[in-house]
Structure 1
Amino acid sequence: MEDKCVVLVDSDGEDCFILQQAFSRWGPGVTIDQFCSPEEFLSSAQWKLNRPKVILLELVLLGEKGLDWLPVFLDHECCHKIPVVMYSGLETERQVCLNLGAADFIRKPDSFSEMKLVVDQVWQSYLAS
């Protein structure tokens, strides 16, 4: 089975940990590459080594807005034909994210059990095939 790489761009280490734990239930075939900032991801060569199947971009980053980075990601070679899914615990209009080119917007829940549901949704939509 081919490894399925998920890129997480989120400045909140606790949220990344929760997402990593939730993805681990899908087995050893899932690789999680975590980046604390969009700059860190774009300047990394990691995306060349582990071609991601999906990129999860947090809407609110430390001192930045993920939504401002969405067009940059979509224009960058690292994201060519790779869905960028915006996610956040904030109430945000999903349509705004979709209009800017996001593949989807997922409301990030507060509990671990609800986070598993988000991961299941990502798995079914972007990783299962």
Structure 2
Amino acid sequence: MTQEDLYRRLVVERARTPMFGGEVEDAQMRGEGTNPLCGDRVRLTASMTPGGRIAAVRHETRGCAICAASADLMAEHVTGHDPAWVAELGAVFEAMLKTGHPVEAAGDLAVFAPLHQYRSRIRCATLPWTALTAMLNDLKDR
């Protein structure tokens, strides 16, 4: 299976039947991101462990399949990790989208590497990460 076939399959699966869709009950944090150019919108809810790790993240995404799949895979990958690790993964993800070179550290997120060919779609994939970063920064500011 080619990288492009894997991309299509995973994006469609996660957009149609997200594993991390919905809201976190008793959420400690909320975040939102909107792309006014295309109308994509992501709402995140999350909870933290007493040790400062992300216990759960859920998303409500209204937008294209790329945005919805990215939000779902992001939620899966950041659960159980601390904000510093999440920031590093977000930077790896963005760099991968710019270069188009899949990075092993990105795991399943590497399926988005082909988006580097479609610059206008990169924002679709990064919108959930932007919302997550803002949400975690708000936590630091408290």
Q: With structure 1 as the length reference, what TM-score do the two structures score? A: 0.25
Q: Which has the larger radius of gyration?
A: 2
Larger strand proportion of the pair: 1
Structure holding more helix per residue: 2
